[in-house]
Structure 1
């Protein structure tokens, strides 16, 4: 056997065989050493594995625990109103629960009433109808049933227009400063809020986990389809009482609407007052695996770029989101949605062009859109609405619900210059 073959036999541990080979195989000393060496290598490898496995440990947050459960009030468009107090004060106040707010705020008249001392700042807030510098009422506590949230800096804003539109005094808006501390469950079936500590959380079956991009506001990818199908990002905004709001540049650049789609003029309320908008319908909106057909959509000229176009195309409002029970988990940057009993509710396709607000206790007509059913019916600014059909409750929410009756002709009782009159309005459909 030459040197090369001998070296190969040492490496492989194979013994050369004679022609009269028997079962009594004999290993050379070199092969014996190799066998022992292999066992040592295998043992060392197993030791390495055993040593490495404990390094797979993962630190996890303690499980989230329930802090409190309390009811909420729901207005038209899905707006959620929470009732709470400030500091050691006893008066119950009304707050909008708003994922579209990057902080937490108080109405200026509420601050004046309680003589909170505002501190000027260089901070700017933007809304659909304006941009302004804000002052802060610092280091106050918000008391909700079973929960006190301390060390809050409320920015101060004027919510008179919201109070007039909703028919109740809006004392403030609860946004990011609250959500970032807790997991908040909104149950639209039972109209209950549940607040949990931040931590590990197991969502129920039957829903879908959204992973929005977060700044102080959640930004969710969704598909909007009409003339074209467009995939874009949208704010998830529980403080917006509508289904879909589109930046008009986004709508135009994407050519989202069909050419023959009907579009109507209207108005909406927001920071800074009222602003002109348009309203129409898109064929489909898709969020995660959920598809909604023939969805009402507002379009507005976003002068102050509230919708952050071209990064975002607009927002998804609470008239869409209320069709799910929602787990809002800012600490883990997750939102979990599960269809509820309202999932198949019809959308509101009614159009009147009638602007009415609660002013000094009277439901007063302030705006009539040109060419609208309200103009055709003969409404005038200053008319006071006394009743709609047989409802004389002087409740603006009840009247708005009655007017959400597309293609119906409704009887409206008004006072004009101190004299009662009856006006009939034929409600149009935006479909």
Structure 2
């Protein structure tokens, strides 16, 4: 009888402990707040529309995990007759360091959902407006992204905001676990002359594949010494900077591997990467190949390959960077010995047509230069006169 009682007590305790083992405190389920359409500019950069305060006209914002706050363009602020405070904080980018003022305690409405208590820093984004040929009114970064779970669906070109909480990730993807200190940092593997680990900034606001600092390239010695580098112009906070374009053998993100990846190298004069903490960044020309879920609260970024996963990289090099100035596509600095320089093009030339195609938008002109190898006919205007040049666009993968 005693034995039976002991068995019964043991079973009862087992049931109690089993039941308790299934109990835990959890966050409430995440719920959808809003979904809006976005556009993609060159390099996969995401641009969406939102409303500031009670102004009726929507503004264009770049979504940027590489931004530690939220910002507005100085000309936009002036056009709205807003008065920012005196410059009080320093911000740093690849093109320089600036002291900025703020518009504090403002509201931003995305797809009908209002986000309050935002402090916008004010900076001149004229270089971004001229680069994309569309007015850029601001950049949305950590100040907004950290408040939500953010889903980026590149297949549908939709941006969705969810409340923080329990979120079920779809099957078939891969979970990254970034270290987030306002900006998200990760480590991955790269390979060329030798394999190396690469600490990088997860930067969907950068319209490129990979950007390495010159310090990392020199110290890691991972890049093949015979790799030829091609001088080009890049853009960032503070203005335009010189970069070099080349190719590396492979890049790994979790289980995903990309081969023959075009990469950019720059001299990190302002120590943006805080080398050796970081070697550079990975941009949205890589991440646009996934549908992405950003969960800052749990320090989880989820990647799901999408229809663009196997899209070919652009290997074309002409030496031309185009900017929209007063409604006209104008060449920036032309590197020496580049195909554009050899064809006789100069900084400030107005590009009228490529391969006899007229009436092209700035984006069309850029895409045409990226998608073409070999001889390209350029019609341009210099000092009011139309001229023609034939340029031999290089495929850097074959060099």
- Under TM normalisation by the shorter chain, which class is it? over 0.9
Q: CA deviation at 1:313?
A: 1.1
Alignment pair present for 1:233 and 2:199: yes
Partner of 2:118: 152
CA contact (8 A) 1:323 1:339 kept: yes
Alignment pair present for 1:243 and 2:212: no
Alignment pair present for 1:313 and 2:279: yes
Alignment pair present for 1:266 and 2:212: no
Residues 70-109 of structure 1 show CA distances to partners (whole Å, capped at 9, x for unaligned) of 2111111001101112111011211000011011000111
Partner of 2:303: 337
Q: CA deviation at 1:205?
A: 0.9
Partner of 1:71: 37
Alignment pair present for 1:125 and 2:101: no
1:184 to 137, 143, 150: 150
SS in 2 for 1:368: coil
Partner of 2:55: 89
Distance 1:139 1:342 in 2: 39
Alignment pair present for 1:347 and 2:313: yes
- TM-score, scaled relative to structure 1: 0.88
Distance 2:269 2:192 in 1: 25
CA contact (8 A) 2:356 2:379 kept: no
1:80 to 46, 63, 67: 46
Alignment pair present for 1:322 and 2:288: yes
Q: CA deviation at 1:390?
A: 3.9
Q: CA deviation at 1:48?
A: 6.0
CA contact (8 A) 1:277 1:299 kept: yes
Distance 1:329 1:126 in 2: 25
Distance 2:115 2:358 in 1: 40
CA contact (8 A) 1:97 1:173 kept: yes
1:277 to 243, 246, 249: 243
Q: CA deviation at 1:393?
A: 2.8
Distance 2:71 2:275 in 1: 25
Q: CA deviation at 1:396?
A: 1.0
Partner of 1:166: 132
Distance 1:87 1:42 in 2: 69
Alignment pair present for 1:198 and 2:160: no
Distance 1:165 1:408 in 2: 25
Aligned residues: CA RMSD: 1.8
Alignment length (residue pairs): 396
Partner of 1:21: none
Distance 1:197 1:329 in 2: 10
- TM-score, scaled relative to structure 2: 0.95
SS in 1 for 2:169: coil
SS in 1 for 2:275: coil
Listed as ranges, the matches of 1:43-58 within 5 Å are: 56=21, 57-58=23-24
CA contact (8 A) 1:350 1:429 kept: yes
Partner of 1:106: 72
Q: CA deviation at 1:365?
A: 1.7
Partner of 2:343: 377
